[in-house]
């Protein structure tokens, strides 16, 4: 029988995963997988490491949203723990799980079958990893201000509803970008540094972003008229990649530094990060993730 460590966030999504816990354990046991269970709490890096040492799992399963997965990959990387990672998407936003085509119907079999694929990570300022997206600018602060109860009730709509209220306050700022030895600058409302093309529930914002190419993809929404911005927004809503959109500044790089005089604060996988400047580098094929066979 295989032994896995299940890390679950009791507050993710509608806080309903804890009611599914027995069914999850039963489904894994039927597939020959025994679960040790770890319940997340604040500042529990050391406790997680101790749990890994005691349970000696063959893999770690993250049950929660993108924020829970963000915590898990940081615990693994910062403690040099080399274990494959499975995902049970049960949070408000499960962008990376969606990109891997993991859902409530297939994650048991995907993990039990043992098929893994290597995945790049981003490393910010030499100390914090992200798996999906690093960002700053308009809307970034909105995600942090959304009341947890509202987010659980409305889901992703909470972000969009608060974001609509910010439209009249749009202010562009100059971004100075140093990417793979080259300097760039642009006036922009926000930027995204992508590891995967799936962001904020939209599955294909970028056509170029890949999780195993050793590159990160920068998309910055340039200063423009509301009419032009709505054109770009319609593309995003329609699932059309915006890499080549005239309102988007885009590039690929292995490492980049983004600075702004506007006092922007970064966001990593939906979690609050440090103020800019943001120094980002790719960590190629840093972890293996359970995923369907391609």
Contact at 8 Å (CB) between 107 and 62?
no
Burial class of residue 233, CB neighbours in 10 A (0-12, 13-18, 19+)? middle
- Residues 6 or more apart whose CB falls under 8 angstroms from that of 284 comprise 120, 212, 214
18-24 contacts at long range (C-beta below 8 A, 24 or more positions apart):
20/90, 24/63, 24/88
Which contiguous run of DSSP H or E holds residue 87?
A: strand 85-89
Residues tagged active-site: 271
Chain Cα centroid distance, residue 185: 26
CB count in 10 Å sphere of residue 184? 16
CB burial readout 19-53, b (16+ within 10 A) else e: eebeebeebbeeeebebbbbebeeebeeebeebbe
């Amino acid at each position: 029988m295989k032994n896995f460590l299940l890390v679950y966030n009791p507050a993710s999504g509608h806080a309903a995963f804890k009611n599914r816990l027995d069914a999850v354990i039963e489904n894994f046991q039927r597939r020959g997988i025994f679960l040790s269970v770890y319940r997340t709490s604040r500042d529990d890096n050391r406790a997680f490491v101790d749990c890994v040492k005691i349970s000696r799992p063959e893999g770690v399963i993250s049950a929660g949203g993108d924020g829970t997965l963000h915590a898990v990959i940081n615990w693994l990387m910062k403690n040099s723990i080399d274990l494959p990672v499975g995902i049970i998407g049960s949070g408000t936003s499960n962008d990376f799980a969606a990109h891997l085509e993991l859902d409530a119907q297939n994650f048991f079999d995907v993990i039990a079958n043992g098929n893994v694929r290597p995945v790049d990570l981003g490393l910010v300022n030499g100390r914090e990893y992200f798996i999906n997206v690093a960002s700053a600018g308009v809307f970034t602060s909105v995600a942090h201000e959304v009341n947890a109860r509202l987010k659980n009730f409305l889901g992703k709509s909470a972000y969009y509803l608060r974001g609509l209220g910010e439209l009249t306050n749009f202010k562009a700022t100059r971004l100075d970008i140093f990417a793979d030895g080259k300097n760039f600058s642009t006036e922009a409302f926000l930027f995204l540094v992508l590891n995967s093309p799936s962001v904020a529930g939209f599955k294909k914002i970028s056509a170029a972003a890949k999780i195993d190419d050793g590159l990160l993809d920068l998309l910055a929404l340039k200063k423009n008229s509301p009419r032009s911005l709505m054109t770009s927004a319609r593309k995003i809503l329609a699932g059309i990649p915006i890499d080549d959109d005239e309102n988007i500044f885009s590039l690929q790089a292995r490492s980049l530094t983004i600075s702004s005089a506007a006092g922007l604060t970064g966001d990593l996988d939906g979690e609050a990060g440090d103020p800019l400047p943001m120094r980002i580098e790719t960590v190629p094929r840093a972890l293996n993730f359970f995923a369907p066979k391609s």
